[in-house]
Amino acid sequence: MLKLYGSSLSGNCLKTKWVAERLGIPFEWIETDVFSGETRTPEFLALNPAGQVPVAVLADGRVLAQSNAIMLHLAEGSPLIPTDVYERAKMFEWLFWEQYSHEPAIAVRIARRFYLKQREEELDPTLLTRGHAALLRMESQLAQSSYLVVNALTLADIALVAYTRVASRGGFDLSPYPSVRRWISRVEADLTLESVASG
């Protein structure tokens, strides 16, 4: 059976769990604490030399890392990946943009502010401006379409909802982004996730 090593506090890890659940793929979840060094043990580094979660151990024992690569592998041939060539390319555009321009601002600010309890004055001020630029980019797309790529749920939505739905924990006020807020509720309903209380 598929094994997913991940932290329930990490949006990157939850993405892979949500895809497996959505597609009815049986899996074992192995809770891995990133803050206590569990991803730096020799055993874990033998699994993933990059020392990051999530890690998937496939049914045949082979190992795969990187949240978006794991999602793509699990979802191959499913409706979560568009069959249209251009729509699939746009999905990839959002997936790479998420890891480069969204996660390093929003997820990092959530981790430092909410989990590591850093004070506002300790935080790199560019995290806030970069995070809001990312949210504005999403708002501009979601004012035109109900999902990021055309009008159906794809891996792009699952990847981006992971940290956007808890952005308030990073001190990001979502009230200027009404289309993003409606899209969060839509994707949460699709994935049967309970809405996250703000703060």
Contacting positions for a copy of itself (CB under 8 A): 49-50, 58, 62, 64-70, 72-73, 76, 85-86, 89-90, 92-93, 95-97, 99-101, 103-104, 137, 140
| 49 vs 186: CA distance, rounded Å | 37
Please identify, using beta-carbon distances, which residue of 138 and 161 lies nearer to a copy of itself.
138
Q: Which is nearer to a copy of itself, 90 or 181 (CB)?
A: 90
Q: What are phi and psi of 71, to 5 degrees?
A: -55, -45
DSSP 188: H
Gap between the Cα atoms of 152 and 140, Å rounded = 17
Determine the Cα–Cα distance for residues 19 and 159; give it in Å rounded to an integer.
Answer: 10
In angstroms, what is the minimal distance from the CB of 194 to a copy of itself? 28
Hey, is 55 helix, strand or coil?
Answer: strand
Residue 32 or 68 with smaller CB distance to a copy of itself: 68
5, two tokens: 């090593």
* Least distance between a copy of itself and beta carbon 8 (Å): 21
DSSP string, 2-23: EEEEE-TT-HHHHHHHHHHHHT
Separation CA 78–CA 138 (nearest Å): 24
Closer CB to a copy of itself, 32 or 67, in the complex: 67
**Minimum CB–partner distance for residue 195 and a copy of itself (Å):** 28
- The nearer residue to a copy of itself, 132 or 137, going by C-beta atoms, is 137
Q: How far is the CB of 68 from a copy of itself (least distance, A)?
A: 5
Q: Which of 85, 74, 3 is CA-nearest to residue 44?
A: 3
Query: At closest approach, how far in Å is the CB of 109 from a copy of itself?
Result: 16
As measured in angstroms, the least distance from the Cβ of 173 to a copy of itself is 21
Nearer to a copy of itself, 62 or 117 (CB): 62
CA pair distance 33, 29, nearest whole angstrom: 13
